[in-house]
Structure 1
Amino acid sequence: MTTSTPPVRDAARAVVLDEDQRVLLLRYDEGGGFWATPGGALEEGEDYATATLRELREELGIDETAIELGMQLAERSKNHLVGGREVRQVERYFLARVSPGDVSPERATQPDNIREYRWWTRDELRSTAETVYPQGLADLIAAVAEGPTPNRPIILSG
């Protein structure tokens, strides 16, 4: 019996923090509903940082000049379905700092089935019964808030 390896889908994601160290998450209905960081697949010829900025503009209407894009914080690999097809998604998570007033969903050009967005505190992340991706996000935010930030990207699970 042979098993095929799913194709790799490179994706850029943003850990979007405001001045109070709250993180911006997006709600989706599929799979029973979950919250996740903004982001998506790289387009041909695009690097991860450029994709991160584009995704924030497309999904949340944030003007790229309002984003302070920082270092890559983490990486995660996971098999899941995209458009009914299994892929091995390799995600790189970048720190992005924005003001809540710069988030403008009415200007989003590709809201991608986003049901709502919400700013979360670390305490809310740690106490919620809702599904949040990636797992360990509260600890990652704590590392940024309390410093020093990791010298190299943290490998996340789930």
Structure 2
Amino acid sequence: MTTPTPPIREAARAVVLDADQRVLLLRYDENGGFWVTPGGSLEEGEDHATATLRELGEELGIDAKNVELGAQLAQRCKDHRVGGREVRQVERYYLARVSPADVHPACAAQPDNIREYRWWTEGELRSTRATVYPRGLADLVAAVAEGHMPQRPIILAG
């Protein structure tokens, strides 16, 4: 007997970098606690780039006019529970350049269950014992910081 494939949930996420090549991550307490890039599911009729900008505003109070949105860097597929049901989330990760001065969590329209946000250096990503998603984020950040943009989106694990 085969298990049916969960329904697809399209999502857009941002690899938010500042001028010092630090990456902005959000902390959640669910599932033992983890850090993750900002983002979320697409709304009806929305494209991934538009969703990325909307999510930055909803989660961090960042005005879209203050975001330098770049190319899609990566993609990840992950089965997990959302709203009590199993889904297969297909995420596209976009480069977003933002100044820390433009991050205003107090103005976030939908902060969900975000417990804190923090700017991380590549070294901190590599040395932390905290759970950080997606896996491979440190390598991706390092490549972008060195000016090595992927020719096509790379596939990230978990």
Distance across 2 between alignment mates of 1:145 and 1:94:
14
In the alignment, the residues of structure 1 paired with residue 156 and residue 123 of structure 2 have an alpha-carbon distance, to the nearest angstrom, of 20
Aligned to 1:77: 77
Paired AA for residue 128 in structure 1: T
Question: Which residue number in structure 1 is paired with residue 29 of structure 2?
Answer: 29
Q: TM-score, structure 2 length as denominator?
A: 0.99
Query: What amino acid sits opposite 1:122 in the alignment?
Result: E
Which aligned pairs between 1:48-59 and structure 2 lie closer than 5 A? Answer: 48-59=48-59
Counterpart of 2:17 in structure 1: which amino acid? L
Which residue identity does 1:48 align to in structure 2? H
Is residue 2 of structure 2 the alignment partner of residue 5 of structure 1?
no
Structure 1 residue 43, shift from structure 2 partner: 0.3
Q: Deviations for 1:100-149, whole angstroms, at most 9, x for unmatched residues?
A: 01000010000010000000000000000000000010100011011221
> How big is the shift at 1:4?
1.4
In structure 2, distance between residues paired with 1:151 and 1:11: 21
How many residues align structurally? Answer: 158
CA deviations on 1:79-110 (whole Å, 9 max, x unpaired) are 00101111000000000000001000010000
The 5 A counterparts of 1:7-156 are 7-156=7-156
State the superposition RMSD in angstroms: 0.6
Structure-2 separation of matches of 1:132 and 1:39: 14
Structure 2 CA distance, aligned partners of 1:127 and 1:5? Answer: 35
Give 5+ residue unaligned stretches, structure 2.
none
**SS in structure 1 of the partner of residue 53 of structure 2:** helix
Taking every aligned residue pair, what percent have the same amino acid on both sides? 78
2:3 and 2:78 map into 1 onto residues whose CA distance is 17
